[in-house]
Chains A and B, each alone.
Chain A
Amino acid sequence: MTRHESVLELIGNTPIVNVSALSPKPNVKIWAKLEGRNPAGSVKDRVAISLVEEAEREGLLVPGRPGQTLIEPSSGNTGIALAMVCQLRGYHLKVVLPANVSPERRQLLEVWGAEIIDSLGSEGSNGAVRLCQKLAAENPDWVFLYQYANAANPLAHYRTTGPEILNDVPEITHFVAGLGTSGTLMGVGRYLKEHKPGTQIWAIEPPSGEMVDGLRNLDDGYVPPIFTDNHGSEMLDRKVIVRPQESIEWTRRMVELGLFVGISSGAIMCGAVRCAAQIPDDVEATIVTIACDDGWKYLSTGAWTDDIETVVERAKKIIYF
């Protein structure tokens, strides 16, 4: 089907490509699901349409009614996806954005008419969430969909990403994805645990806690409510950090296969390779990983073209995950 009434119909049903050439073991196949093919450019399109449609079902938002405003914290992709959906639906979107995201992310928000409210870069996504909560409390007429706590976030992946993966790669043994809001891992993880019991779920995260210097003590920390609500600690089988150096290296390795993907996709690929490396030689395994977005939004970081040490130092100062 190539003819569509709305760009929103293009969300999901993304292709999966064999990236086993990067697997460290011949007995372990790796497949990458290319979420950059979504119309606003990332896996977050699925979340954005799910959040908005659920709010419309509940009557929090009414399509066509003038003067409706949403506010959401985002380090980029959710904001961009929501901005696209909101523009089509006629809602005004305010995005609370850490100041240290790549300039392309900021520009894309502006492309779709979102209003940007800066939060302190040194406080990372934590700071954006806190500022957004404060602003939402002060402005009760704004609709705060709160992707970190909204069941419609993991539900999008339970209903779409999970079934697509199992349909395309029924032999899956491991699912490896990034941990941000935890929506992908909780939604796909629950679907796979229910429909392909025994599938291992691996979470990949950047060493973000190291970079956030706005915390006074551990009580200022944050675990997404949807992670807790979905019993994330029991859902996950492993959770590993991938550092900026390896993230950039694997982002570059993906290019060997013609895949121009974002830096977090490189980090997750690195995690998939680590996962593959610990599988015994006599066990056949199939890993599915997520390439969350394409590389376009990160060109200004020089990730593919500049000296790697310079790029790694740059990556430590921006939010790329």
Chain B
Amino acid sequence: MAVKVRIPTVLRSATGGRATMDVTATTVGEVLAAISSEYPNVQEQLFNTDGSLHRFLNVYINDDDVRYLGGVTAAVADGDEVTLLPAVAGGATA
């Protein structure tokens, strides 16, 4: 599946400034592995030592947080957009 990945500013120092990547993958885990294989310095930012997602990293498939869709096992489809975003303090409504 051809998937577009959006990389947040905070990770771009590890991707040589690159903001988007096209990868082939069937799950979110494969998407993240594809990024890590091209940019090894990203890996330690994405994952904890036990292999789980960094607690301050949110990953979205078409703006839907994958933590509630099965995490790294969530399936991606052709044309999906996967967005990585740092977790930050929100606004004033909740």
Return chain A residues, CB-CB under 8 Å to B67: 233, 239
* B10, B63, B90: residue with the most chain A Cβ atoms closer than 10 Å: B90
Interface size on A, residues (CB 8 A): 61
Nearest neighbor of B91 in chain A, beta-carbon distance: A321
Nearest neighbor of B60 in chain A, beta-carbon distance: A241
Shortest A207–chain B CB gap in Å is: 7
Return chain B residues, CB-CB under 8 Å to A44: 92-93
Cross-chain contact B86 with A177 (CB below 8 angstroms): no
A172 to B39 CA separation, bound complex (whole angstroms)? 46
Shortest A153–chain B CB gap in Å is: 9
Contact with A along B61-93 (1 / 0, CB 8 A): 001110111000000000000010111111111
Cross-chain contact B93 with A180 (CB below 8 angstroms): yes
Shortest A270–chain B CB gap in Å is: 11
Cross-chain contact A207 with B91 (CB below 8 angstroms): no
Q: Which of A19-27, A59-67, A125-133, A304-312 contacts B (4 or more CB under 8 A)?
A: A125-133
Q: Which of A6-14, A216-224, A249-257, A279-287 contacts B (4 or more CB under 8 A)?
A: A216-224
Shortest B46–chain A CB gap in Å is: 8
Is the CB of A196 closer than 8 A to any CB of chain B? no
Given A180-B92, A207-B85, A319-B91, residue A243 in contact with residue B9 (CB < 8 A): no
The residues in B between 12 and 68 inclusive whose CB is less than 8 angstroms from any CB of A are: 45, 54-58, 60, 63-65, 67-68
The residues in A between 140 and 193 inclusive whose CB is less than 8 angstroms from any CB of B are: 148, 177-185
A238 to B69 CA separation, bound complex (whole angstroms)? 8
The residues in A between 195 and 233 inclusive whose CB is less than 8 angstroms from any CB of B are: 203, 205-210, 212-213, 215-224, 233
Given A215-B9, A218-B11, residue A179 in contact with residue B60 (CB < 8 A): no
Given A209-B58, A215-B10, A218-B56, residue A126 in contact with residue B91 (CB < 8 A): no
Is the CB of A124 closer than 8 A to any CB of chain B? yes
Cross-chain contact B45 with A217 (CB below 8 angstroms): yes
Cross-chain contact A218 with B54 (CB below 8 angstroms): yes
Cross-chain contact A238 with B91 (CB below 8 angstroms): no
A218 to B11 CA separation, bound complex (whole angstroms)? 8
* B56, B60, B68, B91: residue with the most chain A Cβ atoms closer than 10 Å: B91
Cross-chain contact A209 with B92 (CB below 8 angstroms): no
Is the CB of A38 closer than 8 A to any CB of chain B? no
Return chain A residues, CB-CB under 8 Å to B65: 238-241
Cross-chain contact A218 with B88 (CB below 8 angstroms): no
Cross-chain contact A75 with B55 (CB below 8 angstroms): no
Cross-chain contact B94 with A179 (CB below 8 angstroms): yes
Nearest neighbor of A147 in chain B, beta-carbon distance: B92
Is the CB of A320 closer than 8 A to any CB of chain B? yes
Is the CB of A78 closer than 8 A to any CB of chain B? yes
Is the CB of A76 closer than 8 A to any CB of chain B? yes
Q: Which 9 A-B pairs have the closest CB atoms?
A: A221-B56, A321-B91, A209-B85, A180-B90, A180-B94, A239-B65, A125-B89, A178-B93, A241-B63
Residues of A with Cβ closer than 8 Å to B?
42-44, 73-79, 124-126, 128-129, 148, 177-185, 203, 205-210, 212-213, 215-224, 233, 236-243, 264, 268, 290, 292-293, 319-321
Interchain residue pairs with CB less than 8 A apart (25)? A75-B91, A76-B91, A76-B92, A77-B92, A77-B93, A78-B92, A125-B91, A126-B88, A148-B89, A177-B93, A181-B90, A206-B91, A207-B63, A207-B85, A209-B87, A215-B88, A218-B54, A221-B86, A222-B87, A239-B65, A241-B85, A264-B91, A264-B93, A320-B91, A321-B93
